[in-house]
């Protein structure tokens, strides 16, 4: 793939790290070395920039175009500009605006205040509204938020409103989907080369489709509702080149935890994170979504994976709208470039209380846990549950701690109950989970990933230690402010459920 080829004339950066943390490949690569669980991880990062290329003189036949990155090309197209540079502010035409039950009411309120009570949205077919956060609760304010969305969508005749009315039985709501970032992909709202904005920080998930996707605030969303435009600053791009065959005990969650641990939670602040290389090309769409999902945990403005045959095949039955992928030019300039030999990576966790508090899973084997949580936009997709089932199947054992399962969407829930797990003799995930002693799969939603009302399923209402496939482990994130969250891949979470301690999945997969 052209987008994965690094031109020898590109501008490179040399990043100096503490020797024990280096994950960069070299002429003689050494195994990954990460401090033990009990040790803190240095975040000292020094970047040295190579001299910039000398300025090219204009050709006699006309102006010379500057080579652009993927994100810059998407900005150029959306702003109708032939050229632009990082740091430039441009008015961008928005292809899709998404909002949900937490931020939707506020965005709607701002839209009505600024554009008028009788104003109409700029395009009723480009607004996607997905209730998903605080759904299965008796909290009156949370329920009211969904009512506000419903009234607005009826008033505006919004085409894509995934409503839920019967909270007692989600299956009685055929329009209800679940977690917005997974539903956006499943329902065909993600397309290469487009601009997708959402009132949720993990909107960056959609970058897996080769588009610009990022989270925005309620005020910006109110403006987009009325105009279909937003003033955005063009971000510079960090390129992450991941090569090597991915071991069968690793998942994309391990890759992104490695990157965040390497550059820190502030290492990509207002920067685009572009993922390329043979490892990335081998990932499924759902795994690419996991990779892009957590760029915001590194401070990233957006994450992006070049569209390829995997992308196009996924979209075949999802959308009939035309789209045009873009790719970084061979001479495009990247602020920094990081290279990884994934074949040498080991299963990782992020210890409390930060996603960059990286450690090897095997070095945390003495950490006793109280529960395991499988779910969210990060780790609640069909392939995530298949991965958990694979570990349980390989072990033949029962879980030793309560293990909560929250499918991201209604489709994922159906997959859990209907798709056979490879090598199981026809058993479904649900059957394997029941045999392993897990909690019954819950109604699809964001669940306890961000705490929520006290009656939210699997919320941590008292101090506990939890291994979770979610994306954040800040104090209070899943409920109780004294709770401790270890972020992990579905493989590692499943292995930990079987032992009652943070566990390297290789104990069951090899």
Q: Let me know whether 293 and 424 are in one domain.
A: no
Indicate whether 37 belongs to any domain. no
For 255, residues 6+ apart whose C-beta sits below 8 A from its C-beta are: 242, 279, 291, 340, 342, 345
Q: Let me know whether 133 and 206 are in one domain.
A: yes
Residues 175 and 142 sit within 8 Å (Cβ to Cβ): no
Residue 56 is predicted with a pLDDT of: 47
Q: Let me know whether 258 and 383 are in one domain.
A: no
Q: What DSSP state is assigned to residue 448?
A: G
Q: Let me know whether 301 and 388 are in one domain.
A: no
Q: Let me know whether 187 and 79 are in one domain.
A: yes
Q: What DSSP state is assigned to residue 24?
A: B
Residue 346 is predicted with a pLDDT of: 98
Average pLDDT value for residue range 319-324: 97
Q: Let me know whether 376 and 428 are in one domain.
A: yes
Q: Let me know whether 198 and 238 are in one domain.
A: yes
Indicate whether 55 belongs to any domain. no
Indicate whether 400 belongs to any domain. yes
- The CATH number for 302's domain is 3.30.499.10
Alpha carbons 65 and 84: distance in angstroms, whole number:
10
pLDDT-derived band at 65, boundaries 50, 70, 90: confident
Average pLDDT value for residue range 175-200: 98
pLDDT tens column, 376-430? 999 999 999 999 999 999 999 999 999 999 999 999 999 999 999 999 999 999 9
pLDDT tens column, 269-292? 999 999 999 999 999 999 999 999
DSSP result, 241-267: EEESPPPTT--HHHHHHHHHHHH-TTT
Alpha carbons 493 and 487: distance in angstroms, whole number:
8
pLDDT-derived band at 64, boundaries 50, 70, 90: low
Task: Evaluate if residue 267 carries a pLDDT over 70.
Answer: yes
Residue 76 is predicted with a pLDDT of: 98
Q: Let me know whether 487 and 359 are in one domain.
A: yes
pLDDT-derived band at 63, boundaries 50, 70, 90: low
List residues bridging with 130 in a β-sheet: 100
Q: Let me know whether 388 and 483 are in one domain.
A: yes
Residues 191 and 130 sit within 8 Å (Cβ to Cβ): no
Higher pLDDT, 452 or 44: 452
Q: Let me know whether 275 and 364 are in one domain.
A: no
Nearest in space to 443 (alpha carbons), one of 128, 132, 98: 132
Task: Using alpha carbons, list the distances in angstroms from residue 150 to 24, 75, 136.
Answer: 50, 32, 16
Indicate whether 4 belongs to any domain. no
Average pLDDT value for residue range 207-218: 98
Residue 313, SS3?
A: helix
Residue 472, SS3?
A: coil
pLDDT tens column, 464-510? 999 999 999 999 999 999 999 999 999 999 999 999 999 999 999 98
DSSP result, 341-374: EGGG---EEE-TT-TT-EEEGGGGTT-B-SEEEE
Indicate whether 75 belongs to any domain. yes
Indicate whether 399 belongs to any domain. yes
For 247, residues 6+ apart whose C-beta sits below 8 A from its C-beta are: 342, 343, 345
Average pLDDT value for residue range 33-45: 44
Q: What DSSP state is assigned to residue 466?
A: E
**393 lies in which domain range?**
350-508
Domain termination site, one of 277, 310, 342: 342
Alpha carbons 398 and 299: distance in angstroms, whole number:
38
pLDDT tens column, 115-153? 999 999 999 999 999 999 999 999 999 999 999 999 999
Indicate whether 20 belongs to any domain. no
Q: Let me know whether 311 and 402 are in one domain.
A: no
Residue 24 is predicted with a pLDDT of: 37
Q: Let me know whether 241 and 383 are in one domain.
A: no
Residue 61 is predicted with a pLDDT of: 46
Query: Domain total for the chain?
Result: 2
């Amino acid at each position: 793939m052209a987008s994965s080829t690094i031109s020898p004339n590109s501008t490179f950066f040399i990043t100096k790290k503490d020797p024990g943390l280096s994950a960069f490949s070299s002429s003689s690569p050494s195994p990954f070395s990460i401090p033990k669980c009990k040790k803190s991880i240095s975040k000292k990062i020094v970047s040295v920039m190579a001299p910039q290329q000398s300025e090219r003189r204009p050709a006699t036949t006309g102006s010379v175009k500057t080579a652009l990155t993927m994100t810059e090309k998407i900005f150029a197209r959306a702003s109708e500009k032939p050229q632009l540079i990082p740091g430039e502010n441009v008015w961008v035409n928005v292809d899709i605006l998404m909002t949900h039950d937490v931020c939707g009411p506020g965005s709607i309120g701002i839209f009505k205040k600024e554009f008028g009570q009788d104003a109409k949205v700029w395009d009723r077919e480009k607004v996607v509204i997905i209730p998903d956060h605080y759904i299965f609760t008796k909290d009156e304010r949370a329920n009211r938020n969904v009512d506000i969305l419903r009234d607005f969508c009826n008033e505006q005749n919004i085409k894509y409103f995934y409503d839920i009315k019967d909270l007692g039985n989600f299956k009685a709501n055929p329009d209800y989907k679940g977690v917005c970032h997974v539903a956006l992909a499943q329902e065909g709202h993600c397309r290469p080369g487009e601009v997708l904005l959402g009132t949720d920080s993990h909107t960056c998930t959609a970058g897996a489709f080769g588009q610009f996707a990022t989270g925005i605030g309620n005020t910006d969303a109110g403006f987009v509702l009325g105009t279909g435009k937003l003033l955005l600053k063009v971000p510079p791009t960090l390129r992450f080149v991941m090569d090597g065959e991915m071991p069968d005990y690793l998942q994309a969650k391990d890759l992104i935890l490695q990157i965040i641990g390497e550059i820190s939670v502030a290492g990509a602040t207002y920067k685009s994170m572009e993922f390329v290389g043979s490892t990335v090309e081998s990932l499924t769409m759902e795994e690419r979504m996991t990779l892009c999902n957590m760029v915001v945990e590194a401070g990233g403005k957006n994450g992006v994976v070049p569209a390829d045959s995997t992308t196009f095949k996924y979209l075949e039955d999802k959308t009939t709208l035309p789209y045009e992928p873009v790719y970084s030019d061979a001479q495009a300039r990247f602020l920094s470039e990081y290279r990884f030999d994934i074949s040498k990576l080991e299963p990782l966790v992020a210890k409390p209380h930060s996603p960059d508090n990286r450690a090897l899973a095997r070095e945390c084997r003495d950490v006793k846990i109280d529960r395991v949580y499988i779910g969210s936009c990060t780790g609640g997709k069909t392939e995530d549950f298949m991965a958990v089932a694979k570990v349980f199947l390989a072990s033949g054992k029962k879980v030793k701690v309560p293990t909560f399962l929250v499918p991201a969407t209604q489709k994922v829930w159906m997959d859990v109950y209907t798709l056979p797990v490879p090598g199981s003799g026809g058993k479904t995930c649900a059957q394997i989970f029941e045999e392993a002693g897990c909690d019954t799969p819950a109604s699809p939603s964001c669940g306890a990933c961000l705490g929520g009302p006290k009656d939210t399923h699997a919320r941590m209402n008292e101090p506990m230690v939890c291994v979770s496939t979610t994306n954040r482990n800040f104090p209070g994130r899943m409920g109780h402010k004294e709770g401790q969250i270890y972020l992990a891949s579905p493989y590692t979470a499943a292995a930990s459920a079987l032992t009652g301690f943070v566990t390297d999945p290789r104990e069951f997969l090899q």
